[in-house]
Chains A and B, each alone.
Chain A
Amino acid sequence: QVQLQESGPGLVKPSETLSLTCSVSGASISPYYWNWIRQPPGKGLEWIGYLYYSGNTNYNPSLKSRVTISVDTSKNQFSLRLSSVTSADTAVYFCARRGPSYTDYYIDYWGQGILVTVSS
């Protein structure tokens, strides 16, 4: 059974950098696409970006200037860094795996989510 678990600080100060890690168990990081998706309280879902196990990345243009997703294959983990955060970045952050389809981009496994609040 594939399991994903987010970890990191639940409170970040404005203008600082949000850093989260996703630990994957029950599956290897390769050869999948690994995603970060967020959901502000009471709102919809926003895709932040993906990382392919080889290290290739693709980010949402709305966040691209502030986002870095990286991988540590030795630990079967991947990470998110979001710089210069504001209150608008307060959200539940999910790590998630893209399903194995070559033709469709759907999310088949999600972490439980971690609430990150941006506040001084």
Chain B
Amino acid sequence: DIQMTQSPSSLSASVGDRVTLTCRASQYISNSLNWYQQRPGKAPSLLIFSASRLQSGVPSNFSGSGSGTDFTLTISGLRPVDFATYFCQQSYSLPITFGQGTRLEIK
């Protein structure tokens, strides 16, 4: 299985800040990387697919980049609703696997 490692595991930031979350794959996955947001008690919600493509309806303050093994999710102009947990997921090979998550907290 491909292992996905996210860093940091938690992050404190303020409203209006710009933050970058990182996801690293244990082997080459091309651009087969997706990002999800999960609020407490809710199901995850797709933000970014194919490393950099914004899902319909997702605000433009979210952006993704990377290829190969290293990927980033950048959130600019943090809003209160953006404080949540973020997961990456590789789709290069089955079984699909997820990172352990980055919890974004309000400072």
A residues sitting closer than 8 Å to B (CB atoms) are 43-47, 58, 60-62, 94, 96, 99, 101, 103-108, 110-113
Decide if B19 is an interface residue (CB 8 Å cutoff).
no
Tally of A-B Cβ pairs under 8 angstroms: 56
- CB pair B98 A104 closer than 8 Å: no
**What's the nearest-Cβ distance from chain A to residue B50, in Å?**
5
Q: Mark B92-104, 1 if CB is under 8 A from A, else 0.
A: 0011111111000
Number of B residues, CB within 8 Å of A? 23
Evaluate contact between B49 and A104: CB separation under 8 angstroms.
yes
Minimal beta-carbon separation of A68 from chain B (angstroms)? 16
Cβ 8 A contact of B98, one of A47, A62, A101, A113: A47
Asked if A104 and B91 sit within 8 Å, CB to CB, the answer is yes
Does B43 lie within 8 Å of A113, measured CB to CB? yes
A107 touches B87 (CB 8 A): no
Closest to A99 in B: B49
Pair B49/A112 contact, Cβ less than 8 Å: no
Shortest beta-carbon distance from A35 to chain B in Å: 9
Instruction: Provide 6 A-B residue pairs closer than 8 Å at the C-beta atoms, listed in order of the A residue.
Output: A104-B50, A105-B32, A106-B34, A106-B49, A106-B89, A106-B91
Q: Is B44 an interface residue (CB 8 A)?
A: yes
* B85 nearest in chain A by CB position: A44
Give CA–CA (A101, B66) in the complex, Å.
20
- Chain A residues contacting B55 (CB-CB under 8 Å) are 108
